[in-house]
């Protein structure tokens, strides 16, 4: 995942539960509909066999389209399966270990909620990108929100690319497009009958 151009790029996040063969077709349709920088395999399961099968199935789809595939949390599995990298959710704590394990060419990303400090620490530790979010509160979430001014500050001060994710809608995408490098979109589209069309509708608010 390289530095983004001035217009934000798409970063897809899979559902936490999926049937690999069926979802592979859905993913292919979405990737064919919208140029995508990276796909994150974000399954809730900790079963190595299930994770490996899903990664192997989806990698056929992403490799055919020259799209990077990273996995949430499982650094050693990313190494074992030869994936493009790992996405970590513990702020900056595991970044150095992941970088040492996966090497300089792997993608190492890090979720930092709404913390400027954690984001800077992750960048200093070797993260290729930092993700912030959710960008809006929900009834079920009482944690830190990534405010618009965080993205504004980051875009002006920090060179490490940033990703906006969580509770994205058309209005937030339009507002954050000038100050973020990537939008991580997942739950926003997968529940739709036509995820590719849902994505096209959301993405039309950029630019």
Q: What is the CATH number of the domain that holds 24?
A: 3.20.20.70
pLDDT of res. 141: 65
Is 67 a member of any domain? yes
Residue 144 has which token pair? 């830190």
> Is the alpha carbon torsion for 163, 179, 168, 201 positive or negative?
negative
Is 158 a member of any domain? yes
Tally the domains of the chain: 1
Own/partner contacts of 67-71, CB < 8 Å, gap of 24 or more, are 67/31, 67/36, 67/37, 67/38, 67/39, 68/1, 68/37, 68/38, 68/39, 68/107, 69/38, 69/39, 69/41, 70/1, 70/38, 70/39, 70/40, 70/41, 70/107, 70/109, 71/40, 71/41
DSSP state of 93: T
Is 3 a member of any domain? no
Residue 111 has which token pair? 């979720």
Is 118 a member of any domain? yes
pLDDT of res. 207: 67
Whole-number percent of the chain with pLDDT over 90:
89
Is 1 a member of any domain? no
pLDDT of res. 182: 98
pLDDT of res. 206: 87
Name the packing angle between helices 20-33 and 195-203 (round to 10°).
Answer: 30
The domain in which residue 48 lies consists of 9-203
Q: Is the pLDDT assigned to residue 142 strictly greater than 80?
A: no
- Strands annotated E in the chain: 9-13, 36-41, 68-72, 85-88, 107-111, 129-132, 162-165, 182-185
Nearest to 147 by CA among 135, 158, 137: 135
pLDDT of res. 5: 46
Distance CA 78, CA 75 (A): 5
| Tens-place pLDDT, residues 106-125 | 999 999 999 999 999 999 99
Is 2 a member of any domain? no
Lowest-confidence segment of 59-73, 87-101, 115-129, 160-174 by average pLDDT: 87-101
Q: Is the pLDDT assigned to residue 52 strictly greater than 90?
A: yes
DSSP H/E element including 187 = helix 187-190
Residue 6 has which token pair? 């001035």
Is 78 a member of any domain? yes
pLDDT of res. 144: 84
Is 68 a member of any domain? yes
pLDDT of res. 3: 47
| Tens-place pLDDT, residues 84-105 | 999 999 878 899 999 999 999 9
Whole-number percent of the chain with pLDDT over 70:
95
The two most distant CA atoms of the chain are separated, in Å, by 43
184 — phi, psi (to 5°)?
-90, 110
What is the average pLDDT score of the chain? 94
């Amino acid at each position: 995942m390289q530095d983004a151009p001035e217009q934000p790029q798409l970063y897809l996040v899979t559902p936490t539960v999926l049937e690999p063969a069926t979802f592979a077709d859905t993913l292919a349709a979405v990737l064919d509909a919208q140029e995508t920088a990276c796909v994150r395999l974000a399954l809730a399961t900790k079963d190595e066999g299930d994770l490996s099968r899903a990664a192997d199935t989806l990698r056929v789809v992403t490799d055919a389209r020259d799209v990077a595939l990273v996995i949430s949390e499982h650094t050693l599995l990313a190494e074992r399966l030869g994936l493009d990298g790992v996405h970590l959710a513990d702020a900056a704590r595991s970044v150095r270990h992941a970088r040492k394990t996966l090497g300089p060419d792997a993608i190492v990303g890090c979720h930092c909620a709404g913390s400027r400090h954690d984001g800077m620490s992750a960048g200093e530790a070797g993260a290729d990108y930092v993700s912030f979010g959710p960008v809006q509160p929900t009834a079920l979430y009482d944690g830190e929100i990534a405010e618009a001014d965080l993205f504004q500050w980051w875009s002006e001060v920090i060179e490490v690319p940033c990703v906006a994710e969580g509770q994205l809608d058309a209005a937030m995408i339009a507002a954050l497009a000038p100050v973020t490098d990537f939008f991580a979109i997942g739950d926003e589209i997968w529940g739709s009958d036509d995820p590719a069309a849902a994505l096209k509708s959301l993405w039309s608010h950029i630019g």
